[in-house]
Structures are given as C-alpha cells and as structure tokens.
Structure 1
Amino acid sequence: MLKTVQISDVMRKSGFFFIGKAETTTNEAEIKGEGVIPTQWGSLYESHLLEQIPNKKNSAIIALYTDYESGELGEYTFALGSEVTAVDDVPDNLKSYQIVEGNYIVFTTRRGPVQTVVMEAWQYIWEWSKTNERAFRTDFELYDERCTDPENSEVDIYISVK
C-alpha cells in the first residue's frame, strides 16, 4: 500500500497572526460538492487575494480551519490567506485571526498532484481521529515552496491536539 503521509510527534507551535478570506462550511457540504473550499481556491488566484494582504511574513499560503462548532461534524470557518506580522491594517473584504500557541501533530503528504495528496491526507487524518484526540481549535495546511508545481507538491497539515 502506498504510504500517503508522514506523521510528526506532538510539537509545540508558536502563535501567529493570519489574514485571509473566510467563509463558513461543513465537511458534509464539502463532500457533497456544495461547500466553499474549491470556490475559495479559485477566488484566491482570480482576485489576486495574496497581493491584497498587508504585512505578509512570507510567500506561503495558509488554508485555515477554525471556529469549530462541534468537531468534524459541525460548521467551521475555512479561510485562505497568509501569516502576517501585524493585523492593524486589514482590508474590508478580509478577516484577521490570532492563532494561539498550541500543540500540533503535523501530517506531511507524499509528493504528487496537490488536490490528490491533500485529500489522501485528510482521509488519513479522519481515520486517525477515530483513535486520537483532536483539539478542534485551529488546524491549517501550509503551502510553501514545495508547492510551486501543482502536479508535484508536498503539503504540511497541522492538526491541533490536546
């Protein structure tokens, strides 16, 4: 069987600031094709969203999952944007978040087509979640220099744990 992810030990991650475009969704809506995530990704590029974000810390894209209503079954906020050094100048169409310091497990995808490897990793994470305790505070995907080729990308997915 193809190994789809590598898993880190629990790590302590410093807090950070984030600015991006946010919408509410559910896993059920996303699975049925009625969610916001594909539209958000399309909008990221079409509207040149990253160019609108002030005070970017680096060029990485962050896909943020936060404001969980009730674990993986309820509503949550999905936001696409960047880590920033300050949130004192947020454009009207975007939202800022302060992600607090916390414990995370990092799931690193295999190299491959970005949509495929990220979905494989989330399927693995949902199975992993059945026997491990997630915190459902803030989770995020990190799209850095390893993702410049969408057909040969590697993504880190940070899952908050207690």
Structure 2
Amino acid sequence: MTTEHITSFKVIGISVRTTNENNQAATDIPALWNRFLTAGIAQQIPNKTGDEIYTIYTAYEKDHTRPYTTVLGCRVSSFDQIPEGMEAVEIAEGNYARFTTTGKINEGSVFNEWLKIWKTPLPRKYTTDFELYGVKAQDPENAEVPIFIALENK
C-alpha cells in the first residue's frame, strides 16, 4: 500500500445500489459489469478522456458494511451531456491509499484484495473509493488493478 494525492476528476457511467450484506454485491456488481460490456456503455459516454474503466464506490450509508452505490464508467472532461440512465460522479481531490492486485480477475483477485482492505485499519473517508481498469487489466489471467481508498485528511 502507498498513499497518493489525487486531483478531482469526473466519471460518467451506470450504477447500482448494493450492499456487502448477505453477499449481495457479489451478485450486483458482476451483473453491472455484464450490462456495461454487453450494452456497449463505454461507447455511449460523451466527452471521454480515455479508454480506462473505473469502478467507483460512493454514497456510503455509513461504511463498507452498509449500502452504497457502485458506478461503472469512464473518465470525462465535463458533465455537459449525461445520457439518460447514466450517473455522473466526481472523484474528490485528496489523499488515497493505493492497493494493487495482480492475478486472475475471473477468480476473484480484486474481491480478495477488498477482503484485505476491509481488515486494514485505515482512516477512511467513505466518500469515493475506486478501481482503475487500464491497459494492465486487459489480460484477465494476469490483470493488474489498482484500488484507491479515500483517506481522512490529517
């Protein structure tokens, strides 16, 4: 784990309200990914600034044990056009803990990293946490995915 300062940026995508209770997120988030990929959502997002895909965890009811919203989308230059059925989220500027997982995505490498994160004592903000699926995530057998956790300012 390292700490990085990230400047704010904007993402547009599709979302689902979910929870980690009763493993509900383990059903909801893969279904969101399936919809994103099969419906070609990335191609429908206006003002994209790159091809990376972001999974954002936001609107936490309290912490990771309570309901939150997951947004799957792409970075954009503006919120001037938000297609119907999509949501706009701004990643807040601040300090983020960066965890990086490497391995087989289809065998839960990212989820297993989250299990470790939840057990790590961090001064979490519970505002906007996110995963970044870029060039290094293209190989599902050996994908590298950074996970960023918003931290309280000290």
Counterpart of 1:150, as a letter, is: P
Counterpart of 2:109, as a letter, is: V
Counterpart of 1:25, as a letter, is: T
TM-score, normalised by the number of residues in structure 1: 0.88
In structure 2, the partner of 1:123 is 115
Distance 1:67 1:50, change over 3 A: same
Moved over 3 A (4+): 32-35
Deviations 1:59-106 (A, max 9, x none): 100001000011112111101001111111110011111222111000
In structure 1, the partner of 2:15 is 22
2:154 pairs with 1:161 = no
2:104 pairs with 1:113 = yes
TM-score, normalised by the number of residues in structure 2: 0.93
Q: Which runs of 5+ in 2 are unaligned?
A: none
Q: Percent identity?
A: 36
Alignment RMSD: 1.4
- d(CA) in 1 for partners of 2:137, 2:5: 24
Does the CA contact (< 8 Å) of 2:55 and 2:130 recur in 1? Answer: yes
- 1:127 to partner: Cα distance: 1.1
Q: Which runs of 5+ in 1 are unaligned?
A: 1-6
Distance 1:127 1:90, change over 3 A: same
In structure 1, the partner of 2:141 is 151
For residues 70-149 of structure 1, the aligned pairs below 5 Å read 70-110=62-102, 112-115=103-106, 116-128=108-120, 131-149=121-139
In structure 2, the partner of 1:60 is 52
